[in-house]
C-alpha cells in the first residue's frame, strides 16, 4: 500500500467466501514459454503499492531471474482498495495466486486455514527464525507455525527538529530518554505566539495511541485477547498523558491551531514528531530549512514501540508451492532485503542486512537509522484478532472525543469496554 501506515483492514473471510463468485482474473497459471522456447514454471505474485513499490519488486525479480531461469515470476500489482476482496474472490472461485502480500489481515487468513505452513520449507532449506527480528516472525506465526515471511518492518519512532532544540538549549534525545524528558522539552519548545508546538497532534490511529499506552505499561486488551484492558490504570495513564499534551500543557496543536494547507513538521513548527519511518524519506525530500534527526520514542515503564509490517505468504490453493517458496525465500533473503535496504526507510527483517552498512549508511551519517533498528528490535506485535478492523472503528469513535473535545478519559473507556469485549468473545468463538 502507499505506506505501512495505510494498513489492511481485517476482513471476515467466511462471509466473503460464501458471497464471492469466480474471479474474472483467474489466478491460476501454467507453464509459459521462455524466449528460448523452454517451458518455465510461472509463479503469480500479488502485491500492493505505487510506483515506488513496483520499482522495488521488479528490481528483486531481475536478480531472482539470474539465479532461477526456470521460474517466471508474474508480478500482479493490485490497488490497496479492494486488495483483500480480490484475494478472497480468487480463493472462492477455486483458483489462487501463488504468493500474496499480507499485513494485519494475516490472522484472518491463517485462522481460516487458507495459508501454507512455511515451517517445513524453512527447516528443509536451513532458514532460521533467529536470523530475523523476533517481532517480525512473531507477527506471522500462527499456532506455532510460520505462515508468512516478513518483508518490511516499521516501528513508531521520533523525529525531532534540531534547530528548535538548539534554540531552546535542550540536549538532543537519546535512547534513554523518558516521557518526562519528552514532556519537559515540549514545554520549552512551545511558543504559541510564533505558532510553534513541542509535539505534533495525537490521534486514534492504533499505533499512535498504543505507542504511549504500551510504554506506560498498559495495553488495548489482555495477552490472551479475551478482555479489554484499555481501562487499566497503566493504560489510562498513557491516554491521559496524551490528552494533557493538548489541553493541560498546550504543547500539541488542535486542528484549529493548524493553518489550512500547512504541514507544521516540514515547515519547522514542530519540535518532536512521533510517527512512522515513512517520514524519513519525506523529510529528506521536503525539509531544506532546518536540521532534523531520528531517535527511538521515549521510555515509560518499559521501552517498546508498536510494530507494523507486511509479509509474503503462499496460499494453500497454489499449484506451484515449491517454486513459490523459492520466490518467498529470495525476496525475504539477503539479496531481496539488500535491495529494500537501499531505500533507506523501513527496516529489513533480516538482521544481518539491517545491521549492515547497506542499510545503516545508505544516507551516510545524515540519518540515524540505528534508531529504527533499535526500535524494531524492541517492538511489540499489535493484538490482531479477526475483529481488528471493527475494534479500530470503535477506537475512533470513543477515543477521538478524548483528543478533539477533551472528553473524560475514564468515561469514554467505560462506554467502549462492553462493545470491545463482545467482539473479542465473538472472535474467540469463531476460532
Angstrom distances, CA of residue 125 to CA of 121, 322, 329:
6, 12, 9
Angle at CA 392, nearest 5°, toward 391 and 394? 65
Angle at CA 169, nearest 5°, toward 167 and 174? 110
Contact predicate 404/244, CB 8 Å: no
Contact predicate 346/282, CB 8 Å: no
- Residue showing cell 462506554: 415
Residue 199 host element (H or E) = strand 197-199
Q: Which residues pair with 306 in a beta bridge?
A: 380
Three-state SS at 310: strand
Angstrom distances, CA of residue 218 to CA of 210, 223, 305, 390, 424:
8, 11, 12, 21, 18
The per-residue DSSP string of 7-34 comes to: PPPP--HHHHHHH----SS------EE-
Backbone torsions φ then ψ of 233, nearest 5 degrees: -55, -40
Size (the chain), residues? 431
- Residue showing cell 509490517: 309
Rounded Cα–Cα distance for residues 350 and 340 (Å): 11
pLDDT of residue 94: 66
The C-alpha cell that represents 216 in the structure block: 506506560
User: What is the b/e burial string over 31-58, where b = at least 16 CB atoms within 10 angstroms of the residue's CB?
Assistant: eeeeeeeeebbbbbbbbbbeeebeebbe
pLDDT of residue 26: 43
Contact predicate 348/143, CB 8 Å: no
| 411 Cβ neighbours under 8 A, 6+ residues apart | none
Q: How many helices (H) and strands (E) does the chain have?
A: 18, 13
Indicate the Cα dihedral angle 244, 371, 53, 282, nearest 10°.
60
DSSP 5: T
pLDDT of residue 81: 84
Three-state SS at 286: helix
- List domains and CATH numbers for the chain: 13-152+311-365 (3.40.190.10), 157-306+384-430 (3.40.190.10)
Radius of gyration of the chain (CA): 23
Residue 92 host element (H or E) = helix 83-92
pLDDT of residue 353: 98
Pairing state of beta strands 305-313 and 71-77?
A: unpaired
Rounded Cα–Cα distance for residues 76 and 23 (Å): 14
- In the chain, which stretches have pLDDT less than 70? 1-38, 92-94
206-215 and 233-247 helices, crossing angle to 10°: 120
pLDDT of residue 27: 52
Contact predicate 172/160, CB 8 Å: yes
Amino acid at each position: 500500500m502507499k505506506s505501512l501506515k495505510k494498513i489492511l483492514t481485517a476482513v471476515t473471510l467466511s462471509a466473503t467466501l460464501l458471497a464471492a463468485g469466480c474471479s474474472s482474473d483467474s489466478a491460476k497459471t501454467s507453464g509459459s514459454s521462455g524466449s528460448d522456447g523452454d517451458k518455465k514454471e510461472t509463479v503469480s505474485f500479488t502485491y500492493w503499492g505505487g510506483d515506488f513499490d513496483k520499482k522495488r519488486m521488479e528490481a528483486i525479480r531481475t536478480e531472482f531471474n539470474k539465479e532461477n531461469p526456470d521460474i517466471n515470476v508474474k508480478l500482479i500489482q493490485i490497488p490497496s482498495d479492494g486488495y483483500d476482496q480480490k484475494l478472497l474472490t480468487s480463493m472462492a472461485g477455486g483458483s489462487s495466486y501463488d504468493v500474496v502480500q499480507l499485513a494485519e489481515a494475516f490472522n484472518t487468513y491463517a485462522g481460516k486455514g487458507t495459508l501454507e505452513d512455511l515451517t517445513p520449507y524453512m527447516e528443509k532449506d536451513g532458514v532460521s527464525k533467529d536470523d530475523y527480528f523476533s517481532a517480525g516472525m512473531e507477527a506471522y506465526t500462527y499456532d506455532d507455525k510460520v505462515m508468512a515471511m516478513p518483508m518490511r518492518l516499521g516501528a513508531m519512532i521520533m523525529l525531532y527538529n534540531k534547530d528548535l532544540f538548539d534554540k531552546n538549549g535542550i540536549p538532543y534525545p537519546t535512547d534513554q530518554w523518558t516521557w518526562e524528558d519528552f514532556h519537559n522539552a515540549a514545554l520549552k519548545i512551545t511558543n504559541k505566539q510564533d505558532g510553534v508546538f513541542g509535539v505534533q497532534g495525537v490521534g486514534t490511529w492504533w499505533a499512535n495511541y498504543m505507542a504511549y499506552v504500551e510504554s506506560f505499561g498498559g495495553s488495548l486488551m489482555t495477552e490472551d485477547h479475551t478482555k479489554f484492558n484499555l481501562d487499566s490504570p497503566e493504560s489510562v495513564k498513557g491516554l491521559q498523558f496524551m490528552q494533557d499534551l493538548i489541553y493541560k500543557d498546550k504543547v500539541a496543536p488542535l486542528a484549529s491551531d493548524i493553518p489550512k494547507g500547512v504541514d507544521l513538521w516540514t515547515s519547522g513548527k514542530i519540535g518532536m514528531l512521533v510517527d512512522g519511518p515513512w517520514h524519513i524519506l519525506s523529510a529528506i525530500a521536503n525539509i531544506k530549512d532546518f536540521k532534523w534527526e531520528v531517535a527511538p520514542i521515549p521510555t515509560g515503564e518499559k521501552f517498546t514501540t508498536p510494530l507494523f509490517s507486511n509479509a509474503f505468504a503462499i496460499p494453500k490453493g497454489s499449484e506451484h508451492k515449491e517454486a513459490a517458496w523459492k520466490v518467498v525465500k529470495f525476496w525475504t533473503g539477503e539479496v531481496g532485503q539488500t535491495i529494500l535496504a537501499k531505500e533507506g526507510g523501513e527496516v529489513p527483517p533480516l538482521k544481518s542486512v539491517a545491521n549492515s552498512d547497506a542499510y545503516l549508511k545508505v544516507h551516510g551519517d545524515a540519518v540515524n537509522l540505528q534508531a529504527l533498528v533499535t526500535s524494531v528490535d524492541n517492538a511489540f506485535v499489535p493484538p490482531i484478532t479477526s475483529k481488528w478492523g471493527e475494534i479500530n472503528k470503535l477506537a475512533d469513535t470513543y477515543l477521538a472525543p478524548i483528543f478533539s473535545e477533551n472528553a473524560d478519559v475514564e468515561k469514554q473507556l467505560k462506554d467502549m469496554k462492553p462493545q470491545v469485549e463482545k467482539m473479542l468473545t465473538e472472535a474467540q468463538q469463531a476460532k
